[in-house]
Amino acid sequence: MKLLIFGIIFSTVMYLLNLYIIKRFINKLHIDQKYKKYFKIFLIINFIGVLGYIYGRYNPEIPNWLFLLLSLPIGIIFLTFSMAVIYDVLQLFISKVPIQENRRAFLRKGLDYASIGIALGLSGRAMYEATYIKIEKVDVKIKNLKQSYSIVQLSDVHIGGIIDQVSIKEMVQKTNALHPDLVVITGDLVDIALKYALAALNELKGLKSTYGTYFIVGNHEYLHDFEEIIVAVNALGIKTLENESVYIGELGKGFNLAGVYDHIGYRLEHHEPNLEKALGSCDKDSPTILLAHQPLFIKEVTTGVDLVLSGHTHGGQLYPFKALVKIVQPYLAGLYQHNDVTQIYVNRGTGFWGPPMRLGASSEITYMRVS
């Protein structure tokens, strides 16, 4: 039922954005009506692709190449919508500026061709950026940490659809090449019915580090087989931190690693995050690193945590998402000093959600040296 509701809401939003593009962008272009008709036909087909994507996301029997094609329309709509809004504003400006009509006509024509070219260029660039994962290297100073540790953070992998067994195998190879002391996965690992994700999940058995791999759930796990996903992940030798903590390293020289359920648990009224419980067994003389999927959870952190590792935002992934995410989340991507004691690092996501498109927010595997 939750997936059905999500599908209806998402397709409605896509329809409204598509409608805006046609009415406020395509219809206003100063080009031949024949070409306007072609653009409209493309947008209609594109929207049908969005519906196909929603179906394919939760019915993975369709071929992977077809799912790839069906996923692209979402990104195309968002990028074109962003261009359409800018076009609308500039059109208004051109109509009001006091210049001769022949110059006004020239500016309008130039705006038409520039807008179409930019929309196409951004779509191509976004598809290119999604083809690689950047190794983001970060140094973090933590007070009272007696020795340094290397941590690899994976986040928002979103197994399902295009993120398949081959993708996870490559991710594991890249991670192992960094020879980390510890691997953490900060939520949204699985984004499909568990039976379809098992082959990809099994590749995570290959992760190698000194102190093992730890996982927390993200909001997307709540949309699927929540308990079964945790059982399946634990069966791989990966420890899920469920409002609890473990000690990493030699006592007195290491640190507490705590993890909480996702913030969405409050709204769904099950598996709610409990920071007090997560920190309850921590060694008070050692630093604490907290895994919390959404950066906004840091608002609950008042004391006892030196570093929070989060994901969820995808670094914005695509405009206008970047601006929208900033409204909801206090931090978007990278390292921030939250207060005098606590820092937070937000991973841009190792995979992606929706279209295989990123713009100014490449996928990342974080290699962090804490000392």
Provide the residue ranges of all domains of the chain, joining segments of one domain with +: 2-129, 133-370
Tens-digit pLDDT profile for residues 197-227:
999 999 999 999 999 999 999 999 998 889 9
Q: Are 200 and 168 in contact (CB under 8 A)?
A: yes
Mean pLDDT of 126-150: 94
**How far is Cα 29 from Cα 35, in angstroms, rounded to an integer?**
10
* Mean pLDDT estimate for the chain: 93
- pTM for this predicted structure: 0.90
Structure tokens at 284: 């008070």
* Top-level class of domain 133-370: alpha beta
Place of tokens 């190698």: 208
Comparison of pLDDT for 263 and 31, the residue scoring more: 263
Structure tokens at 285: 């003389």
Lowest mean pLDDT among 62-71, 145-154, 223-232, 272-281: 62-71
Binning pLDDT at 50, 70 and 90, where does residue 192 land?
confident
Mean pLDDT of 301-324: 90
**How far is Cα 262 from Cα 23, in angstroms, rounded to an integer?**
39
